[in-house]
Amino acid sequence: MNPAVTKPLENTYSALHLNKIKVDECSTMRIRSVEAIPVARPDSTMQFRSDSLERREKALVEKERKLEALAESLKERSQKLESLEGTKAIEKMPERSDMDELRQKVREDLLRQFQPELEALQTQLEVKEAELEEARLRTRMLETGELIEQPVDQEELARVTEEIFQELRSQVDSPPMLKDTGLIMTKIPKLDEVMGGGIPQGHTILFNGAPGTMKSTFTYAILYKAALNDKTKGLYLSLEQSRRSITRQMEKMGMPLAATEGRLVVADLKGMRESMSEDQGTWRDVLLHYVQKMQRETEFKIFVLDSLESFKALTEHGFNRQDLKDLFDWFKSLGITVLVVSENISDEWDEANQGEVYLSDGIMELLMHEMNDSRVQRWMRCVKMRGMNTDPRYYSVFHDGKEFNLSLPLSNQPF
């Protein structure tokens, strides 16, 4: 039975691909597995829905029973009334027409008394029935695997869609004007060559690495050199260390802040909070306002954010890829070059990334490389630099107390 059922399906499939030389086993399996997609998806939601449906059905049955009881009592009352009227008739023997009149009057009274209640119950019943029908419909849709969306304002949707199409039409008609942006030379020996010439202005570059790989020092060095050599202004914002601790650390590395003559500004959370004491809103908003304000005041060209993980932690809600896209777009709109320090190491890219490795224009990876049992070197690699012909090799990084030095590592030679 079974082979007879599956066979024709396979035959049709291979008939469609007569010129196919190598029948792909996976794809045939795939076709069958698609056929086998179960339509019903019994899960907790379904269970919940059927439970609530049962509850509603019970409530309705209860209502119906009450209504019947009500009708019953009405009938009883009118019977009592009739018998009462009968006795009255014997006592007083009123005119037949009078009795009719009386009966009519009582009936009307009763009706008046119970009419609103009856009507209310009737409407309730109708509403419940409509709800039940809708719930049945939803259950059916869930069973057949169709998704239910919140109703969308169709008019608004049509209007926005037209807007989108209009804007896209202009994209088709006119290619963007490409301004040739310059390069920021880091002047760190070898580094510019590795990156294919320097950092293209306006790019957002990720500096990825485990703790201790000198991410902060590296990005600081780029700012420092640019401030010294090209008189380029920069802002270093640390969400991890205090301003004092950073400046002291960098002074030890031969990069005293004073030498930049104010072209390099180092800020920390405390300083930011003091400067923005008037500002309302979430931490993230305050931070962005601060960056904007500083940009207006000092017109810095390079911005270091240390670190992306701390920035994400500052946001109260979950930080997803679209939030990140908005942030990177915002950097672009400021027209600044941004160096983002991140501890997202490359082994975890597949698992935990929130898109920064794809959203960024470039990635510099810093790592510790264990040469043998005792020797560990700092290594660096340019993973990505959009539009640049980069040197993708690993370089070992040394800091001689004054400056970084990059060199090709001697591969695996015994020491």
Which residues contact other proteins by CB under 8 A? 17, 19-22, 24, 26-27, 29-30, 33-34, 37, 145-154, 156-157, 160-161, 163-165, 167-168, 171-172, 175-176, 178, 181, 320-322, 325, 329, 332, 349-350, 355, 357-359, 361, 363, 381, 383-389, 392-394, 408-409, 411-412
**For residues 220 and 228, what is the distance between their CA atoms, to the nearest angstrom?**
12
Q: How many CB atoms lie within 10 A of CB 4?
A: 7
**For residues 54 and 70, what is the distance between their CA atoms, to the nearest angstrom?**
24
- Tell me the closest approach of the beta carbon of residue 270 to other proteins, in angstroms: 35
8 A C-beta contact, residue 382 and residue 364: yes
Question: Is 289 exposed, middle or buried (CB count within 10 Å of its CB: 0-12, 13-18, 19+)?
Answer: middle
Q: How many CB atoms lie within 10 A of CB 224?
A: 24
- Tell me the closest approach of the beta carbon of residue 216 to other proteins, in angstroms: 22
**Strands 376-385 and 264-268, sheet pairing:** unpaired
Residue among 234, 239, 216 at smallest CA distance from 286: 239
- Tell me the closest approach of the beta carbon of residue 266 to other proteins, in angstroms: 29
Q: Which is nearer to other proteins, 90 or 148 (CB)?
A: 148
- Tell me the closest approach of the beta carbon of residue 31 to other proteins, in angstroms: 9
Q: Which is nearer to other proteins, 235 or 385 (CB)?
A: 385
- Tell me the closest approach of the beta carbon of residue 274 to other proteins, in angstroms: 34
Question: Is 225 exposed, middle or buried (CB count within 10 Å of its CB: 0-12, 13-18, 19+)?
Answer: buried
**For residues 61 and 319, what is the distance between their CA atoms, to the nearest angstrom?**
48
- Tell me the closest approach of the beta carbon of residue 126 to other proteins, in angstroms: 22
Q: Which is nearer to other proteins, 20 or 75 (CB)?
A: 20
Q: Which is nearer to other proteins, 310 or 377 (CB)?
A: 377
For residue 268, list its beta bridge partners.
238
Q: Which is nearer to other proteins, 190 or 273 (CB)?
A: 190
Q: Which is nearer to other proteins, 263 or 384 (CB)?
A: 384
- Tell me the closest approach of the beta carbon of residue 154 to other proteins, in angstroms: 7
- 3-class DSSP state for residue 367? strand
- Give phi and psi for 201, each to the nearest 5: -60, 140
8 A C-beta contact, residue 59 and residue 125: no
- The 3-class secondary structure across 248-273, one letter per residue, is HHHHHCCCCHHHHCCCEEEEEHHHHH
Q: Which is nearer to other proteins, 47 or 181 (CB)?
A: 181
- Tell me the closest approach of the beta carbon of residue 278 to other proteins, in angstroms: 29
Q: Which is nearer to other proteins, 203 or 233 (CB)?
A: 203
Token pair of 404, please?
A: 């970084």
